[in-house]
């Protein structure tokens, strides 16, 4: 008897948990996180809508989505720089949303953030040694000078940097300073919000290499937020895709790239240029262009929030809110009523609703 309640004679439906299945080893366990704001005219909007995920020790989870989908709000809520409207943020089992005062200061230390703007995030009046050592002072940690020197070594900056000011450094070097500061307290999790978006492309790869290297050496766990799927791919073990405040797909990186189960993920992937094949001929990419604009967040569409732009939406997508349900192997989840059909749909020859780019 596959399902015990079949014996009761009711309709049989396999149990599909609402939240991502959790392991006891999760370092970070985010449950049903919601953030409501009001726009400039006072209309309510939900910037983050019931987002749940876990982060395992040593794992890098990428969060991707276009501007306004709620990535930064999510990252800032994890640090409690933005107060969640509801939901839970468990760090090693302790709920950050319930803490205040000293207990919050102690637990928040486990999470550190690297911001997008390496120009604005460093105090221009402080020397680099003071900036990197500040968290150590706040938390009363001794041997500050040695620790700052170690941190500079770690991020590949000369020790003489301690006596210099941020404006004496390039954008990439400033981001190294920001990363050193974030590492000062040996946090359990780093939250990096678009850490390379403000940098030149050549410098971006240096910082990505640094992050990859630090990860291997220190076993860092990280939430890596970016609008750029090709950047996220380089650093992430798993990727969560957000659209209009919701997590619409989450999957191991290889699975997401091999077989996306949400049409929005398919569209994002189709926009990444593919390198030419070995004989030099350009590879044809079936580009999925989305219809229309991102909906007004103060007036989101009913049913699936993506249906107004979805190339494969059907009638029921207007009514039913799809859950982030398991699909396929490896913990892949997608919030799409047609997730089962997606490999066939996305690989099919041109449909009238989509266009093909070469």
Residue closer to ligand ATP (CB basis): 54 or 72: 72
Q: How far is the CB of 221 from ligand ATP (least distance, A)?
A: 21
Q: How far is the CB of 48 from ligand ATP (least distance, A)?
A: 7
Q: How far is the CB of 43 from ligand ATP (least distance, A)?
A: 10
Beta bridge partners of 246: 243
* Cα separation, 96 vs 100, whole angstroms: 8
Residue closer to ligand ATP (CB basis): 46 or 233: 46
Are 134 and 127 contacting, i.e. CB atoms less than 8 angstroms apart?
A: no
Q: How far is the CB of 262 from ligand ATP (least distance, A)?
A: 17
Residue closer to ligand ATP (CB basis): 183 or 305: 305
Let me know how long the chain is: 358
Residue closer to ligand ATP (CB basis): 45 or 335: 45
Distances in whole angstroms, Cα of residue 211 to Cα of each of 74, 108, 114, 229, 240? 21, 21, 11, 16, 19
Pairing of strands 246-252, 333-334: antiparallel
Residue closer to ligand ATP (CB basis): 23 or 230: 230
The residues binding ligand ATP (CB under 6 A) are 37, 39, 45, 47, 65, 67-73, 227, 297
Beta bridge partners of 86: 34
Q: How far is the CB of 96 from ligand ATP (least distance, A)?
A: 18
* Cα separation, 169 vs 125, whole angstroms: 14
Pairing of strands 325-326, 246-252: unpaired
Residue closer to ligand ATP (CB basis): 71 or 338: 71
Helix 201-218 vs helix 144-154: crossing angle, to nearest 10: 120
Residue 231 DSSP class? H
Are 40 and 84 contacting, i.e. CB atoms less than 8 angstroms apart?
A: no
Q: How far is the CB of 76 from ligand ATP (least distance, A)?
A: 8
């Amino acid at each position: 008897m596959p399902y015990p309640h079949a014996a009761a004679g009711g309709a049989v439906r396999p149990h599909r948990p609402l939240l991502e299945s959790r392991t006891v080893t999760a370092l970070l366990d985010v449950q049903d996180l919601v953030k409501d704001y009001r726009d400039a005219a006072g209309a309510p909007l939900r910037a983050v809508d019931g987002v749940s995920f876990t982060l395992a020790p040593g794992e890098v989870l990428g969060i991707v989505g276009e501007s306004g989908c709620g990535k930064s709000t999510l990252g800032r809520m994890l640090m409690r720089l933005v107060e969640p409207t509801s939901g839970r943020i468990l760090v090693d089992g302790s709920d950050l949303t319930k803490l205040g005062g000293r207990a919050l200061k102690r637990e928040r230390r486990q999470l550190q953030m690297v911001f997008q703007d390496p120009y604005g995030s460093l105090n221009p009046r402080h020397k680099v040694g003071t900036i990197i050592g500040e968290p150590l002072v706040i938390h009363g940690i001794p041997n500050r000078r040695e620790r700052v020197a170690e941190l500079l070594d770690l991020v590949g900056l000369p020790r003489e940097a301690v006596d210099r000011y941020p404006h004496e450094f390039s954008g990439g070097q400033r981001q190294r300073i920001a990363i050193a500061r974030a590492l000062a307290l040996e946090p359990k999790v780093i939250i990096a919000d678009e850490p390379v978006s403000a940098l030149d492309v050549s410098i971006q790869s240096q910082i990505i290499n640094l992050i990859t290297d630090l990860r291997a050496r220190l076993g860092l766990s990280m939430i890596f937020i970016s609008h750029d799927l090709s950047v996220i791919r380089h650093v992430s073990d798993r990727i969560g895709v957000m659209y209009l405040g919701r997590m619409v797909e989450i999957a191991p990186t290889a699975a997401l790239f091999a077989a996306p189960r949400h049409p929005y993920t398919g569209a994002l992937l189709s926009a990444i240029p593919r390198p030419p094949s070995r004989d030099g001929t350009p590879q044809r990419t079936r580009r999925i262009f989305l219809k229309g604009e991102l909906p007004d967040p103060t007036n989101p569409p009913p049913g699936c929030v993506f249906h107004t732009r979805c190339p494969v939406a059907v009638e029921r997508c207007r009514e039913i809110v799809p859950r982030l349900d398991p699909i396929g192997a490896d913990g892949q989840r997608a919030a799409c009523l047609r997730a089962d059909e997606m490999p066939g749909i996305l690989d099919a020859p041109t449909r009238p609703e989509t266009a093909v780019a070469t």
